[in-house]
Structure 1
């Protein structure tokens, strides 16, 4: 089992956190089995959103990334910071010009739920990090809660990752 598969398994085993967030944010826990069924509306929406996010991230444009978040979105990265608002999130996500470079970034969605105009999904991200010595595979978890916008598009309201 490679490291990305191992992280995916761990994330699936800790799916309780996703369901608890659903309760906290008023969506109620689903009685359906935990996961993200292939072909489900939730899975298709989550995959589509991730493709849009990866395209925007690939441009390096703060504005393009910011457009994927709501005006009052909350981003909680693996630091002690909490970033609130569309523009500050776009700036934060594109500000690290001196840090290690990531390539081959991908997200494997392992849990998702669609409830009305709210989509929530959890995934395992993986990338190759180039630093001073060599390339290293890095992985982490991501949880996003999205709202359907008036135009039918989806934008992140809450995001946390490590």
Structure 2
């Protein structure tokens, strides 16, 4: 079978179009992968800031890491809304003896100005006898990018596992 000049040009044109389309389609996927890494690094930095602020008792600094309309969804409790409510909630936790908070992201995925993170946290808590014990929880956070900064938007976790 022989092809005429127009058919060859058409096939070459189709190959070129397919090549260009493959680059166009692959480009966002590559940038998404890099974007997730950048978002993860930013979220891990905020988590380090969160832990440091909480561990030094600066619950106002912790609350500032949330969006203005941020929410806590603690297990077995009412929803806590807004930065002042969030600061009061974390202050009550610190006053009860929660300390040595450590956060570890296990998964971060971003979608434009929103991201989610799942992870594990550990913290020390005073037992009724005055001794400290370490508790562990799993958590899920919805993050929102506000003016170029990643902020916690919705924050929920489970009860500590029975030891």
Please report the TM-score for the alignment, with normalisation by the length of structure 2. 0.67
Deviations 1:74-126 (A, max 9, x none): 11112221011111111111124652x23332112111101111121010111
Q: Which runs of 5+ in 1 are unaligned?
A: 1-31
Partner of 1:144: 141
SS at match of 2:48: helix
Partner of 1:112: 108
Partner of 1:4: none
SS at match of 1:121: strand
2:93 and 2:99 mapped to 1: Cα distance? 14
SS at match of 1:78: coil
Asked if 1:82 is matched to 2:79, the reply is yes
Q: With a CA cutoff of 8 Å and minimum separation of 6, indicate the structure with the bigger relative contact order.
A: 1
Cα RMSD (Å): 2.4
Asked if 1:66 is matched to 2:66, the reply is no
Please report the TM-score for the alignment, with normalisation by the length of structure 1. 0.67
Q: Displacement of 1:133 after TM fit?
A: 5.2
Partner of 1:154: 150
Partner of 2:26: none
How do 1:4-153 residues align onto structure 2 when only pairs under 5 Å count? 40-96=37-93, 99=96, 101-131=97-127, 132=129, 134-150=131-147, 152-153=148-149
* Maintained 8 Å contact 2:126/2:132: yes
2:94 and 2:146 mapped to 1: Cα distance? 31
1:137 and 1:105 mapped to 2: Cα distance? 10
Flag the 1:136–1:62 CA change in 2: closer, same or farther, 3 A.
closer
Flag the 1:57–1:104 CA change in 2: closer, same or farther, 3 A.
closer
- Between Structure 1 and Structure 2, the one with more helix by share is 2
Aligned length: 125
Q: Which has the larger radius of gyration?
A: 2
1:52 and 1:133 mapped to 2: Cα distance? 28
2:130 and 2:60 mapped to 1: Cα distance? 32
